[in-house]
Structure 1
Amino acid sequence: MRFAMKSRRGPHVPVGQHAPKDLKEEIDIRLSRVQDIKYEPRLLAEDDGRLLQLETPGCYNYLYRMKALDAIRTSEIPFQAEARYPKSLIGKNFCAYLLELRNSSTSFKGIRKVLIDTLLDGYESARYGTGVFGKTEYLKYEEALNELANITKARGGSSQRQHQSAVKDLTLSPEVSNPTTIQVTYLPSSQKSKRAKHFLELKSFKDNYNTLESTLSRRMGMLEQGS
């Protein structure tokens, strides 16, 4: 015996069906954001009872996988310092940070490519891999993670000290140099009058000389024409 539903939408009522238009649009907008909400929680707490199983014989690869992912969160690698990605996406941020380091031309260019590849491969194996990821693989991954953390911490501290030194040099006021002393000698009034008198006498002598020279030139010209 078959039953046909009268409602084409089924037995469920859409959220905000009889709400005002503005409210319904706001509800639809917020519901559409649900699919974009992503969060990567901590997988193993420090007091998680499952960690005690690692001290007993057995295969606990899934625990080492979770420890590898949690190690990224607890490391001192500043892959979230610039806030380029949402803080909730730990793994995505970490992989993007490693790829940026490998292709970077900044002060971190000297980091060994093998170290970055080890971390990328370890993360992929721990999260998505189907092979074995046990204690040996985890310790290798943890060692590479600590090495990168030490390198970034050391270089980050060095660049910060250089920045502080540069700021200190700019803020220091330059030493005020002693002004150059210019010594001015003033002549007595009697010497000033003598110098002015000598200047006038020299000018008068020069004018008389020019007059005499022009007179002699005219007379010489007249004599040459008469001869």
Structure 2
Amino acid sequence: MIYFHKMADQLSGITVVIFIAFGVLTCILLFLFGKRQIARFSLKTRKGPHMPVGYSASKFVYMEIERRLERVKNITHEPVLLKEEEDLLFKTFKPIFPMHLYRMKAVDTLIKLENCLKDADPTYQRFQGQDLCMSLLQAVHKGVLKNCDPKPIRQFVDLYQSARHAPKIFDQEQFSEYMKLLSFILNRHWSIIQ
């Protein structure tokens, strides 16, 4: 009986040590797993590359890479959607076209408006992601569209947004209203002719 009692005391000491070892091991594994998950999520949500650009390049090359990458966010390109032949159809004939052609012509017309604004004031530029309404209203306040009423500009922008993004109908009626507002902005309050 005494033998079993000594053995039970020894086993309880060994089991305590084993439990402590398993607890420490579990804490270490949980720490490593948590650290790995945090690193994984931070790399996943980071917007840049996983390695710095120009990691082993000289300082001059690194600065040139950074300069060019900063210029990329200001580059915008609006493609011309209608070919010249299709554009001539709008000028010569007045039949009823499919609605997507009216939408395409409205987007192309905005590109021409922005080119006219750039010709009048070389400092005018709508940056990528900048709101069209805010850009045109800034042009009103800065002088390119000086003395132009903001109300037709807002109506023009609303029709443009409808043509470009809205799923509702954009047909000849909306397109003619869009063009009237455009000519009103260009001819009445502004000295530049299309």
TM-score (norm 1): 0.44
TM-score (norm 2): 0.50
Q: Which has the larger radius of gyration?
A: 1
